[in-house]
Amino acid sequence: MSSVARSFARFRRNPALSALIVFIALQLSCIVAGLLYPDDFRYLSEDNVAVILRSIPVLGIVSLGVGILMISGEYDLSVGATFTLTSLLLAETYLAGMPLGLSIVLALTGGVAVGLVNALIVLRFRITSFIATLGTMMMIRGLILFASGAESKPFDPPAAVQAVLSGEIGVLQLQFLWLLLLAAVAYAILERHKLGNHIYATGGSAEAANAIGVNVGKVKLIAFCLSSLAASIAGILATTRVNSVSPVQGQGLELQAIAACVIGGVALSGGRGSILGIFLGAAMIFTVQDILLLTSVPGYYLQAFVGLFIVCAAVLNRLVYRED
C-alpha cells in the first residue's frame, strides 16, 4: 500500500482528524494575522478571547448530546426547544419560591422527559426521528409561548451559584471548563464504557447489533435521553449567565448542533464520530463567525459563509465515509 493510501486509511479510521487539521490551520492563520495586524485584526485581544470562550460552551454542550445520538443513528430537532423549556422551568420554579437545587433537578428531569417522549414515539411507532422530533419541537415551542406569555422571565440565583456556573477568571470562562468536563464524561461513555460500544454498533447497523445481543431499543432510548439532558444542562448554564429566559432563545440551536457534529466528522448515517471532533466542530463554527466579524464582513453574509462551511464539511464527510 502506498504512503498516500495508508494516510487516507488512517484518515478514515479517525473521523476527528480532518476537523483537527482544519482547526489547527485556522487557529495558526488567525494567530499569525493577529500578530501581524494587531490593530485591524484583534483576534488575540483579551476581550475577543473571552468572547470566544464564552460563546462556545452552550453550542458545544448541546452538540455533545446530539452527536452521541447521531452516532446511534438518530437525530433530535427538539434540543433547541428543550434548551428553552429547561431554562423556563428553572426560572419559573425558582421565582415561585422553590429551592434552587430542587429547581435545577426539576428542570433536568423535564429535559430528560422530552428525550423519553422522543424515544418512545420513534421506537414504539417506528416514526423517523427527524419527523418525530420536528413535531415535539413545535409542540414544546407552543407550550413555551403559552407558559411564558411570550415574555422574558428573570432569573437571579445566589452570587455563589452564579460564580460557579458562569463566573470567570481573567479571560478563562468557567462555562468553558464545564464544557471540557462534560466532554470528558461523554468521551468516557463512548470510548471507555460498554454503552459506547453499543452506541457505535447500533448506529453502524441496528440489525447486526441486535444479532450480537445489543438491546438496540434501550441504546437508542438512552441516547435520546442523553441528547435532551445535554440540552438541559446547556440551558441552565446559559440562563445563569444572562440572568433571564427569552421564549425565543434556542431557536436554530438544533441545526447548529447538527452542523457542529457534521463539521466534526460524525457520519450522517450513524456509527462513526468522536467527542473530539464534535468539540472541534462547535469551536470552528464560532471561530469562523468571529473571523467574519473581526474583518467587518456585513452581518447578512455571516449565515451564508457559515452555511458554505457546513456544506463543504458535509461533502467531505460523505467522501470520507463512502463505501469502497
Handedness of CA 196, 199, 205, 208 (dihedral sign): positive
Alpha-carbon distance of 241 to 233, in angstroms, equals: 13
For residue 65, which of 197, 222, 178, 226 has the smallest C-alpha distance?
226
Q: How much is the pLDDT for 16?
A: 74
Q: For residue 10, tell me if it sits in a domain.
A: no
CATH number of the CATH domain containing 105: 1.10.3470
For residue 60, which of 225, 238, 313 has the smallest C-alpha distance?
238
Q: For residue 277, tell me if it sits in a domain.
A: yes
Alpha-carbon distance of 41 to 37, in angstroms, equals: 6
Residues 242-259 have pLDDT tens digits of: 999 999 888 889 999 999
Residue 324 confidence class, pLDDT cut points 50, 70, 90: very low
Q: For residue 7, tell me if it sits in a domain.
A: no
Residues 195-218 have pLDDT tens digits of: 999 999 999 999 999 999 999 999
Q: For residue 9, tell me if it sits in a domain.
A: no
Q: For residue 1, tell me if it sits in a domain.
A: no
Residue 14 confidence class, pLDDT cut points 50, 70, 90: low
Handedness of CA 307, 122, 89, 70 (dihedral sign): negative
Q: How much is the pLDDT for 41?
A: 92
**pTM for the structure as a whole:** 0.92
Residue 314 confidence class, pLDDT cut points 50, 70, 90: confident
Read off the pLDDT of each residue in 235-244 and give the average, rounded to a whole number. Answer: 93
Q: Which three cell numbers stand for residue 139?
A: 409542540
Q: For residue 286, tell me if it sits in a domain.
A: yes
How wide is the angle at C-alpha 241 spanned by C-alphas 234 and 141, nearest 5°?
Answer: 50
CA dihedral 259, 262, 266, 268 (to 10 degrees): 100
- The number of distinct structural domains making up the chain is 1
Instruction: Tell me the residue range of the domain where 315 lies.
Output: 16-30+41-321
Q: For residue 4, tell me if it sits in a domain.
A: no
Residue 303 confidence class, pLDDT cut points 50, 70, 90: confident
Q: For residue 8, tell me if it sits in a domain.
A: no
For residue 267, which of 4, 8, 7, 19 has the smallest C-alpha distance?
19
